[in-house]
Copies of this chain bind each other. A is one copy, B any other.
Amino acid sequence: MIIVLEEESRHLEEVLGGRFRKVRHGGKVAYVSVRQVPRETLDRLHNARIVDTGKPYQLASRSFVEDGTRVRIGEAEFGGKGIQVCAGPCAVESRAQLLEAAEAVKTAGASVLRGGAFKPRTSPYSFQGLGEEGLRILREVSDEVGIPVVTEATSPEQVPVVAEYADAIQIGARNMQNFELLKAAGRSGRPVLLKRGASATIEEWMLAAEYVLLEGNWSVILCERGIRSFDGATRNVFDVAGMALAKALTHLPVIADPSHATGRKDLVMPAAMAAVAAGADGLIVEVHPRPDEALSDGPQSLDPIGFRKMMSEVAKVANAIGRGLR
C-alpha cells in the first residue's frame, strides 16, 4: 500500500510504527507499507492518495503512476510516443572502433550509444573490458559524436565512476538480484537501465526495480533480454509476451534487447520488429563495425549495414502502430 501525502506526517509514521519506507515522488512524499493500514487511520489523513497495488511490488506498479513514467537519457525520452534505439558494440575495444560504431549508429537513427567497459564474463579467461580506460573512451566519443551513452556497472564500487563518465548506468542480467548494486545505482543520480535476469520471473524483475525506486531514483528503464530455456537453438528465448505483460504491470518504460535475446544476427531484425509491434518503448542492439573481429558477442552483432536495414524495417512497424522511431 502506498500513501501519498503533500508532506511528511509524523502521525502516520507513528501509526506505521517504523514498518514503512518513505520516498519522494513528484514533490510529494510516498509512504510504502507492505502491511494493510487500518481504514480509520487512512480516513484521518488529509489530501492523501491511497494506492492499493495488490502486488508485492509497490512503487513499480502501474497503479501508482497510471499514465506512465518518462525517462530521459540525454535527449532521448523513453516511455513517450517515440521509440528509442540504443546501439553500439558489446565491448569498447578501442577509441577507433567505438568512434566508427557511434557514428554509424547515430547516422542510422540510434539515440543512445551502448558499449561495455566493465564486462561480466562467464570465464575469467575471456576479455574483461578496458575498465576505466573504456569509460574515458565512451565519454570522449559520446561528446564528439553527440550521442548520450549507457554502460554497465558490475559492483557497487564501480557505480560512482560509471556515473561520472556515462549518461546512464546499465545493470546486467546476471546482476538483476545484486541488491547492493541496485541500491548503489539507485543513489547514483543517473538513469538506470535494468535488464531482466535470464531466469527471473516478471515479478522478481519488478521487485528488483523496486530496490532502485526506493532510493528515490525514478529514472528506471526495464529491458527484456531473453530467458534461459531448454533449447540451445537460440542463445535465450525472447519473451516478447512477458515484455508486453511488464508494460501492463509497471509505469516504467520497457525496452528489448534482441541481440542477447536471440544470440544470432539473423534473428535480431525479426525479434526487434516483434518487440516494437508488441509495445516496446525502445531497443538496445549490438552493432560492431566488423562483427567477425569483435572481442565478444560477434555472432549476435549487426554490422552497420545490417543495422540500417533493421532500423528501416523497425520504422515501418513503429509507424504502422502510430509511434515512429524517436
Q: Which residues of A contact B (CB under 8 A)?
A: 21, 32, 34, 56-58, 120-125, 154-158, 174-175, 177-181, 198-199, 201-204, 207, 210-211, 214, 227-234, 237-242, 244-245, 248, 258, 261-262, 264, 266-267, 270-271, 273-279, 313, 316-317, 319-321
Contacts and interface: CB of A to CB of B under 8 A. Distances in A.
Given A21-B124, A319-B320, A157 B178 contact: no
B241 A271 contact: yes
A199 B228 contact: yes
Contact of A228 (B230, B233, B241): B230
Given A199-B228, A228-B230, A267 B241 contact: yes
Nearest to A212: B124
30 contacts: A32-B125, A123-B207, A124-B207, A155-B178, A156-B156, A157-B157, A174-B178, A199-B199, A227-B230, A227-B231, A227-B237, A229-B230, A229-B239, A233-B245, A234-B239, A234-B245, A237-B237, A237-B242, A238-B241, A240-B271, A241-B267, A245-B264, A270-B277, A273-B277, A273-B278, A274-B277, A313-B321, A316-B320, A317-B317, A317-B320
B276 A277 contact: yes
Contact of A201 (B154, B201, B233): B233
A238 to B, nearest CB: 4
Contact of A239 (B120, B211, B237): B237
A92 B175 CA distance: 25
Contact of A317 (B123, B158, B271, B321): B321
A244 B229 contact: no
B244 A122 contact: no
- Most chain B CB neighbours (cut-off 10 Å) among A125, A199, A242, A267: A125
Nearest to A183: B124
Contacts of A232: 201, 232
Nearest to A177: B174
A250 to B, nearest CB: 13
Contacts of A154: 178-180
A202 B316 contact: no
A321 B313 CA distance: 8
A96 to B, nearest CB: 21
Nearest to A123: B207
A17 to B, nearest CB: 15
A242 B234 contact: yes
A236 to B, nearest CB: 9
Nearest to A314: B277
Contacts of A316: 320-321
A178 B178 contact: yes
Contacts of A180: 154-155, 157-158
Contacts of A203: 233
Nearest to A128: B179
Contact of A124 (B214, B233, B244): B214
A61 to B, nearest CB: 13
A214 B279 CA distance: 41
A18 to B, nearest CB: 13
Given A175-B178, A179-B120, A179-B154, A241 B234 contact: yes
